[in-house]
Chain A
Amino acid sequence: MRLWTPTWLPAAALLALAISGCATPPPAGDKEALADYRQTNDPLEPTNRVLFAVANGFNEVVIRPLAVGYVNAVPQVVRSHVHNVLANLNTPTILANDMMQGKPQRAGTTLMRLLINTTAGIGGIFDVAAGLGYPEHSSDFGETLAIWGVPEGPFLYLPILGPTDPRDAIGYGVDIALSPETWLLTTGPEMDLEYAQFGLYIIDIYADLMPDLDKVQQQALDPYATFRSLYRQHRHAQIDAIRNDHAATSPDHWYPERPPAQ
């Protein structure tokens, strides 16, 4: 997934510029509508909706058949091992972000996960660390920027990234730069490996999310608005969880009698 510059990304960016339109704010007299508009903070909504429709089309035609094939052909046990390996490859990035967020306990957990799963877990195939009291958590540079006080900015819907905002989009780029793979796998065949890994990463995520995505598409009257709301709320919850994590450096299970931290 690293150092990944598909030739059509500039084309997509140009397309976005070409169709860029701005949402029309409600009249200043309608205070409630204006407040809703500001809260939604989606001034590029017309453009975002076009990209959302394009991404949906692409998902339906390309990603979904692959994900369905993957789910049908590969047993759940194997899929979960594939997921473990991909997650383990991402652990150095998580570790770097845990540290930059100033969360020693989370960083310690991630470091133990990396050490245990890479060795005892045979290159990350088995998530041995979770069973030893080091559960998986996510962490990315978008969250790190949030902890540092950078505002999220307006909502964006981008190719590949899907629902996002400028903070998370920049964070995604920085996370790629933070991954050791970006700097280790640089020759032709190694790059092919990276592309294959990125492809598998997309299929893994999509296969996991497919039932929930389908539910939203079926049940929402405006799926775009629903995804926008879900994305924002989920990100806010993740960032709040990091912000409120004041746990000491020793993992919880060292002191099982300690009351839950709240």
Chain B
Amino acid sequence: MLTRRSLLIATLPLAAAPVPGWLRPARAQSPAQATQFIDQTAKQLVAIIDAGAPAPQKRAQLQQIIDRDVAVAEVAQFCLGRHWRDATPQQQADYVQLFHRVLLNSIAGHLGDYKGITYTIGRATAGDGGVQVPTVLNRPGQPSANLTWLVANVGGGPKIIDLIAEGTSMRLTQRSDYDSYLNRNGGRVQALLDAMKRQASQSG
């Protein structure tokens, strides 16, 4: 397990000798880059959690981070699976927008649970779907939890495309939820959109 300090040391050569842009592969993220990216994002999230800002302000800050660091549209499309093609362009657009709102609500609603959180970053590994960056979250008075971030190059920069908590992938779980809901509602995408609208207005 890397500590912050050893992480800093590990990434120092990167900072000292930047690789020219044309040498970097266009699609792949290196494990070191992905680790640095996640450390940066996680630091900002911890800062938002620990600062005593009022809820609407926290939410706005959180939205900024999500918009910048999460490939929301791609994750949304993944979560709709084979039903994406059944949706009209308008439904697709509505769906991505609703997905964004539901995601923001869900994260904003649970920020309070993570007060006083610290984390350590493990050794990142590159795989087919992207680079996996494992972290261990420590909350006061609670057992530590494993959270792995999946990072891929989307739109020219590193983006988070999945979170894997104790072995469970958030996008796979969400996909299975939507798929089952759609199958039980005759595969009508509009039924899913209506349910998501109710969900977004309830908790937002």
Tell me the A residues contacting B by CB distance below 8 Å.
32-33, 36, 40, 76, 211, 215, 218-222, 224-226, 228-230, 233-234, 236-238, 240-241, 260, 262
Interface centre among A36, A40, A219 (most CB of B within 10 A): A219
**Segment at the A interface, from B15-23, B35-43, B46-54, B173-181:** B173-181
- Complex contacts, B57 vs chain A, CB 8 Å: none
State whether the Cβ of B88 lies closer than 8 Å to any Cβ in chain A.
no
- Complex contacts, B176 vs chain A, CB 8 Å: 40, 225-226, 228-229
Given contacts A229-B172, A233-B173, contact A221 B106 (CB under 8 A): no
The answer to whether B123 and A262 touch across the interface, beta carbons within 8 angstroms, is yes
In the assembly, what is the distance between CA of A236 and CA of B173, in Å? 14
10 A-B pairs with the lowest CB-CB distances in the bound complex, closest first? A237-B167, A225-B180, A229-B176, A221-B181, A233-B168, A222-B180, A32-B82, A222-B181, A226-B177, A229-B173
What would be 10 A-B contacts, judged by CB atoms less than 8 Å apart?
Answer: A36-B81, A218-B203, A221-B181, A222-B180, A222-B181, A229-B168, A230-B173, A237-B166, A260-B122, A260-B123
- Complex contacts, A236 vs chain B, CB 8 Å: 167
State whether the Cβ of B93 lies closer than 8 Å to any Cβ in chain A.
no
In the assembly, what is the distance between CA of A241 and CA of B123, in Å? 16
The answer to whether B172 and A221 touch across the interface, beta carbons within 8 angstroms, is no
Min Cβ gap A125→B in Å is 17
Given contacts A36-B179, A233-B167, A234-B167, contact A222 B184 (CB under 8 A): yes
- Complex contacts, B195 vs chain A, CB 8 Å: 221
Min Cβ gap A110→B in Å is 18
State whether the Cβ of B169 lies closer than 8 Å to any Cβ in chain A.
yes
The answer to whether A222 and B82 touch across the interface, beta carbons within 8 angstroms, is no
In the assembly, what is the distance between CA of A32 and CA of B183, in Å? 13
The answer to whether A234 and B177 touch across the interface, beta carbons within 8 angstroms, is no
- Complex contacts, B106 vs chain A, CB 8 Å: 219
Report the nearest B residue to A259, measured CB to CB. B123
The answer to whether A225 and B172 touch across the interface, beta carbons within 8 angstroms, is no
The answer to whether A221 and B177 touch across the interface, beta carbons within 8 angstroms, is yes
The answer to whether B169 and A225 touch across the interface, beta carbons within 8 angstroms, is no
In the assembly, what is the distance between CA of A40 and CA of B177, in Å? 11
The answer to whether B166 and A260 touch across the interface, beta carbons within 8 angstroms, is no
Interface contacts (Cβ under 8 Å), in number, total 63
**For the side of the interface on B, what is the size category?**
20 to 34
The answer to whether B177 and A233 touch across the interface, beta carbons within 8 angstroms, is no
In the assembly, what is the distance between CA of A225 and CA of B113, in Å? 25
- Complex contacts, B178 vs chain A, CB 8 Å: 221
Min Cβ gap B30→A in Å is 17
State whether the Cβ of B110 lies closer than 8 Å to any Cβ in chain A.
yes
Min Cβ gap A99→B in Å is 24
In the assembly, what is the distance between CA of A262 and CA of B134, in Å? 12
Contact partner of A225 among B141, B166, B177, CB < 8 A? B177
State whether the Cβ of B199 lies closer than 8 Å to any Cβ in chain A.
yes
In the assembly, what is the distance between CA of A220 and CA of B169, in Å? 15
- Complex contacts, B73 vs chain A, CB 8 Å: none
Contact partner of B181 among A32, A225, A238, CB < 8 A? A225
- Complex contacts, A260 vs chain B, CB 8 Å: 1, 122-123
State whether the Cβ of B32 lies closer than 8 Å to any Cβ in chain A.
no
- Complex contacts, A219 vs chain B, CB 8 Å: 106, 199, 203
Given contacts A219-B199, A221-B177, A222-B177, contact A233 B192 (CB under 8 A): no
- Complex contacts, B141 vs chain A, CB 8 Å: 76
Min Cβ gap A48→B in Å is 12
Min Cβ gap A107→B in Å is 22
In the assembly, what is the distance between CA of A230 and CA of B164, in Å? 11
Residues of B138-186 whose CB lies within 8 A of A: 141, 166-169, 172-173, 176-181, 184
Interface centre among A220, A234, A240 (most CB of B within 10 A): A220
The answer to whether B180 and A224 touch across the interface, beta carbons within 8 angstroms, is yes
In the assembly, what is the distance between CA of A155 and CA of B50, in Å? 41
Given contacts A221-B192, A234-B166, A234-B167, contact A229 B177 (CB under 8 A): yes
Min Cβ gap B68→A in Å is 24
Min Cβ gap A32→B in Å is 4
- Complex contacts, B113 vs chain A, CB 8 Å: 211
Residues of B86-112 whose CB lies within 8 A of A: 106, 110
